[in-house]
Amino acid sequence: MSDGLGGQGGRGGRGGRVAAIDLGATSGRVIVGRVGPGILETETVARFPNDPVRTIDGLHWNILGLYGAASAGLAEAFRRYDDIGSIGIDSWAVDYGLLRRGQLLGVPFHYRDDRNEAGVRAVHRRMPHTDLYARNGLQFLPFNTIYQLAAEAAGPLLEVSDTMLLVPDLLAYWLTGEARFERTNASTTGLIDVRTGEVSPELVALTGADAGILPTLISPGESFGTLLGDVRGALGAPAHVQVTAVGSHDTASAVFAVPMDPARAAYISCGTWGLVGLELNDPVTTEAAREANFTNEGGVGGTVRFLHNVMGLWLLSESIRHWEREGERIDLPTLLQAAGELRDEVAVFDADDPAFLAPGEMPDRIAEHCRAHGLPVPRTRVEFARSIIESLADTFARSVRTAAQLADRTVEVVHIVGGGSLNTLLCQRTADHLGLPVLAGPVEATAIGNLLVQARAQHLIEGNAAELRDLVATVHPPTRYEPRG
């Protein structure tokens, strides 16, 4: 059964198929899309967890497990359909694997690992953040790749490695044997000059690495190459299947699928993180933008994602994990319904506080934050849930206003895509805090953006970004939330 229908179903009819590997911070999916003029169908053929692994040296991604699960999903996709012409891969940003002569050295660190403080100090000793922001345009996040690589320099692997690949590029390498550096994800590393869009050897040198460690840049829509023979046999794939570069940073793919007019709209790509911002043609690297901690990242088609990272639904999901570890089963729809019916005042706290970054004990950290800031401390799970929703909505609203002011834009409507678009309480309260309409959906914006870039590269569809967004709006009409008084 298809998740979204925009034309005829089945193997026949118009259109062709492409497959998306969409890796989120907590789960992954393999989604097959049938795309053509007026057609946008998606079918999820595999879902799998993405659970980090803590070892003696820190928190890591189970990258081999993810590759195995994604490969099993692709095999199922090829078992069902013999007309898949392309595969595209997207994931979270900043994390990487180091290789020597094609062999992975060690296990990629998780961005929530606590090793990065030393890297931050090392980079800022060599270039203060004011100068760094003028060069790479990135908001300060302690896990940006530039800081992770500087922390890596304290160990043995960076010195002996000859290639660094971000997570989606690493999977593409294992599928094709071709090492590339996809531009939208590369733009999140801090190693790219924000004005030229090219690797800056000076920025790479701040980490202690050599710029030669980075492979050739590749843009969304270009091909990594065809599947290796052994891979093709293991997947049961035909010989012609391409691995196509997409917006491999999941937010880049998600923004490409937002059914918006970027001249009058802001977006919130809401899942584990809440990415709040505007689509621009040029970066904004003013001192005011740096002080507001806004970032300039690459978008599909050479656009700029001018945005601010907010902690997102991580606050709620990590709280639920904490409660369930205590032995209580939490039904999220029931919890959110009760939170929406709550009439008591709850704390509106700073959802941007770095204290909420690490995993574990989230309700305790929220309570401690409220006590330290003179806010009422939530007493029940329902109060915690409502306080989280109110705090996210408040932070989203402030971030939209700040983005509009910094970019000298007028925002008339805000689009929420991703998992957060299903959270009716969050969508309504965001509209209320903003005083603007909120349009919610599609949920699978990341996968849809991934599929659309591939489909256009495969000549299954034509059109510019506006025309492809019109297709998304037709197939996935957004739900409208009007602000209440």
Which residues are known catalytic residues? 250
Strand runs (DSSP E) across 335-391, as ranges? none
Nearest to 185 by CA among 167, 161, 211: 167
* 190/304 Cα distance (integer angstroms): 15
Q: What angle do CA 405, 406, 412 make, to 5 degrees?
A: 40
β-strand partners of 439: 415, 480
Say which amino acid occupies 405: Q
- Cα 50-54-58 angle, rounded to 5 deg: 120
Residue with tokens 């409507």: 413
CA distance 138 to 192: 10
**Tokens 């009422």, located at residue:** 376
Q: Which residue has 């408040």 as its token pair?
A: 394
Nearest to 390 by CA among 353, 349, 419, 356: 349
Tokens 């000793």 belong to 125
Q: What is d(CA 223, CA 220) in angstroms, rounded to the nearest whole number?
A: 8
Alpha helices in 267-350 (DSSP H): 287-291, 314-325, 332-341
Separation between Cα atoms, residue 14 and residue 392, nearest integer Å: 42
CA angle, 80 then 246 then 458, to 5°: 60
Helix or strand or coil: residue 172? helix
Question: For 85, how many CA atoms within 13 A lie in the half-sphere containing its CB?
Answer: 15
Q: Are 207 and 149 in contact (CB under 8 A)?
A: yes
- Check residue 187 and report its DSSP letter: T
| Segments of 83-174 assigned E as strands | 84-90, 96-100, 103-105, 163-166
d(CA 141, CA 377): 28
Report the C-alpha gap between 271 and 313 in whole angstroms: 6
Structure tokens at 40: 């946008």
